[in-house]
Amino acid sequence: MDECDSARTHVRRRSVLAVAALSFAMLCGAATAENKPQKQKTPAGPAYRSAILMEPTTGEVLVEENSHEKRPPASMTKMMLMLIVAEKVDRGEMHWDDEITVSIDASKMGGSQVYLRPGEVFRLRELMEAIVIHSANDASLAVAEAVAGSREGFVDMMNARAKELGMNDTLYQSPHGLPPGPDQVGDMTTAYDLALLAREIMKHPQVMQWAHTAESTFRAGAFQLMNTNHLVRTTPWVTGLKTGYTREAGFCVTATAERNKMKLIAVIMGSPTKKQCFDEALRAFNKGFNGFQPLYAVRKGDVVAADVPVKNGNPRFVRVVAGDDLPVLAEKGAKRSFSLDLNLPGDLQAPLDASSTVGYVTVREEGREIGKVPALAADAVQKQAHFWDRFF
């Protein structure tokens, strides 16, 4: 089983949903044919193996426990697939309406699936919706093969992108996260690396829209897609992102949330039960939202330097301002002090347009870099006229 909801994926018609619900209950231990349904007991011991709470704008870690411990991510492996596809669409290398033909291998995938058949053709957006919402393994392989030509080629792309993002403790072996077969090695990552990956995915509105969708349909309404992340159904301010479950991985979630203009990422790995996994994510979010407050290390329009020389400029100097806000989180009541460094690629040359980018501003706290924002020319600067220009 790949996701705890995977029993429902074996149902092709709504008329037998009751049977699927019963199968799901039996699989999760909530009821058996021999025993009456009873309240699930919470196992003793820790509620997770590793966890992290991160602020996505700066990547600041607010709370963590064993966040660099390597563990199998199960279906959270699909998060890298989501990112790679979204980035290719942004670059114009793929389009959401591209048609993808299902291979024989893709049609044979187990676990959570949408029961693709060899030779069927679907648009990329349809398969991605099935992946993000329903964690469909068959759709994942179909997309991976379409992007890279083969499963192995796509895994190489996943590992290369992970390296670029600084996911130093991550090694992918599959595009979907299913348990490895005999003599195979499984996917490995950490809570910290998954939080880094979530930061990048949050930059892609279409993926996040799907991740926040509680339910949708596939095959023109014939198949129901149910979001495996129950938090998006029960908690309005949870915005995504991806769950995972295998016996070895335990119950896992990478969750994103926004309250009062604050955004957070919580990763929980290795919980004994699905309920504990979601409860721990909510506990982490509440700790962050209730215990921290947003501060601005720099605000858009703040003057960084009042008199930067402009070569051949009229006037000869220009004000440089921050081009964006840089929010950080601080524990409520705490005070923080930041310093700003203006970084220019070289001497500024006239002419300059107002609001043109001239470099960037590095924000530091006690020598540690917090983040960067663009540096903009606050005013226009004309090129200084030479003496002989007046005669032509």
CB 97 within 8 A of CB 124: yes
**First and final C-alpha spacing in the chain:** 80
What is the rounded distance in angstroms from the CA atom of residue 252 to the CA atom of residue 242? 9
Show the tokens assigned to 280. 């721990």
pLDDT of residue 387: 54
| pLDDT tens, position by position, 112-141 | 999 999 999 999 999 999 999 999 999 999
What are the structural domain ranges in the chain? 45-292, 299-391
Q: Does the domain made of 299-391 have the CATH classification 2.160.10.10? A: no
pLDDT of residue 11: 36
Superfamily per CATH, domain 45-292: DD-peptidase/beta-lactamase superfamily (3.40.710.10)
Q: Spell out, as residue ranges, where the chain has pLDDT lower than 70.
A: 1-46, 386-392
What is the rounded distance in angstroms from the CA atom of residue 355 to the CA atom of residue 190? 41
pTM of the model: 0.81
- Residue 285: name the closest of 310, 268, 303 by CA: 268
What is the rounded distance in angstroms from the CA atom of residue 2 to the CA atom of residue 273? 14
pLDDT of residue 45: 54
C-alpha dist (Å) from residue 303 to 45, 356, 379, 382: 53, 15, 12, 21
| pLDDT tens, position by position, 181-215 | 888 899 999 999 999 999 999 999 999 999 999 99
